[in-house]
Amino acid sequence: MTEENHNEENEKLHIQLQRVITLLNKYKLLQGFVNLQNQVSESLAESSIQKKNLGELQSLLNKLHPADIADLLESLPLEDRLLIWGMVKPEYDGEVLLEASDAVRETLITDMGAHELVAATEQLDADEIADLAPDLPQDVMEDVFRSLPIAEREQLRAAMSYSEDSVGALMDFDVITVRDDVRLEVVLRYLRRLEELPDHTDQLFVVDREEHLKGVLLINRILVSDPDLLVADVMTKEMITLHPDDKAEDAAHAFERYDLVSASIIDHDKKLLGRVTVNVVIDFIRDKAENEALHLAGLREEEDLFAPVLKSVKNRWVWLAINLVTAFIASRVIGLFEDSIEKLVALAALMPIIAGIGGNSGNQTITMIVRALALGQISSGSAWKLISKEIGVSAVNGLIWGAVVGLFTFAIYQNAELGVVMMLAMLLNLLLAALLGVLIPLTLRKLGRDPALGSSVMITAVTDSGGFFIFLSLATLFLL
């Protein structure tokens, strides 16, 4: 997929993973052989074959981008992971730690000494150190702090003060500022004195003496404009600015909507604090989407693929416990109707159909509504429109699928009344699912909670217990 003209990195990560594993296994095999007969002098471990294996592995690793190394480490079981981690170039350590997932980063940091950790942060900018900070031991952070120049210390302190889901957490400090009363020619000469521009520099920030942001000077405008013009004539005053306390999600929407590469961050006095760049926004969008998928399945956080069993159990138990409670409730609802089931045992076989389809239909509605809420598409006036649409969909589905299950029931049990009860219960449970599929997320939102979390469990609980209750009470009323 990607092709780097000069080296062999046009192979996919998966192929690289297989190669690393092959080399690693060769290495371990020989090492094991050596250990077995360790009466032989240790020098055999350092034998030429072994050196060659190691050399091959090392040179493969040296060619990889830190992001690829992080991915590779995530794909390896703990023991192999630490072996490879020891072989990574020390100057990559910081970058790799940044790129690794939280769970895997933890395993890597545990394996490193305080000295190594401080060295790893030395390659990083203040905003990057702030990202690692929560995972670093207290004493390491103190050392890191002391080793920084004063200006960066201030930046680190600022970066660490913002909450994880705020724009401040996405901020970096790599801004180039210019004044508006100079000619472009001067700006060009100034830039030429820099050895390189920070990544993702698509604009310079125009500020006054007190660092108040007055506009932005787009790099591409500099290139096409007459060098004799003043910055003030070429700069853009209409620009997107963010505040560090804005939600990171809002920044992501702005980047998406207005096709930004970078955006300035200012405080309430319009003083320039830093910027956000698109690469950080992409990572944020991916992480957010992934976290949502994980939460939906009841994984509290991203899990190391090779985490120890007990760690995984801890990551997953809350969800199972909640579902157990809702299952107990559903079970007690059924318990209320044990007499009916005893008289007509077919009810026991049929009731999961009603509950199951209700849950599926309810989750379809929830997914629609949660997405629309996230996009700010639901106005106070449209809630009733949505409810009536969903009720309509459920009514149609209830009649169609109700008829299907009714006929199925009749075919199996030769009992027409039972078929009618099935059909009616299906219709009613789908209507219940539609109504609550709209109301649950809207209510969570109104209470200030995230409708994406919990809506799905709640609707399933309602359609399970509700479905059993509707079906069994209809059956008790009309059949017994």
We find the least distance from the C-beta atom of residue 186 to a second copy, in angstroms, to be 13
For a second copy, the closer of residues 321 and 416 by Cβ is 321
Closest C-alpha among 291, 332, 104, 352 to residue 85: 104
For a second copy, the closer of residues 155 and 255 by Cβ is 255
Distance CA 295, CA 437 (A): 18
We find the least distance from the C-beta atom of residue 281 to a second copy, in angstroms, to be 7
Residues 6+ apart with CB under 8 A from 329: 461, 465
Torsion-angle region of residue 50: left (phi > 0), alpha (psi -120 to 50) or beta? alpha
We find the least distance from the C-beta atom of residue 427 to a second copy, in angstroms, to be 13
For a second copy, the closer of residues 54 and 176 by Cβ is 176
- How many CB atoms neighbour CB 249 within 10 A? 15
For a second copy, the closer of residues 54 and 344 by Cβ is 344
We find the least distance from the C-beta atom of residue 452 to a second copy, in angstroms, to be 9
For a second copy, the closer of residues 150 and 310 by Cβ is 310
We find the least distance from the C-beta atom of residue 464 to a second copy, in angstroms, to be 7
For a second copy, the closer of residues 119 and 219 by Cβ is 219
Distance CA 427, CA 262 (A): 52
For a second copy, the closer of residues 79 and 139 by Cβ is 79
Helix 455-479 and helix 309-336, axial crossing angle in degrees, nearest 10: 30
Single-letter code of the amino acid located at 77:
P
CB 267 within 8 A of CB 158: no
Single-letter code of the amino acid located at 271:
K
User: What DSSP character marks residue 43?
Assistant: G
Helix 382-413 and helix 416-446, axial crossing angle in degrees, nearest 10: 150
CB 432 within 8 A of CB 463: yes
Distance CA 156, CA 146 (A): 11
For a second copy, the closer of residues 142 and 199 by Cβ is 199
- What residue has token string 């990889």? 64
We find the least distance from the C-beta atom of residue 436 to a second copy, in angstroms, to be 15
We find the least distance from the C-beta atom of residue 38 to a second copy, in angstroms, to be 27
CB 418 within 8 A of CB 452: no
We find the least distance from the C-beta atom of residue 154 to a second copy, in angstroms, to be 25
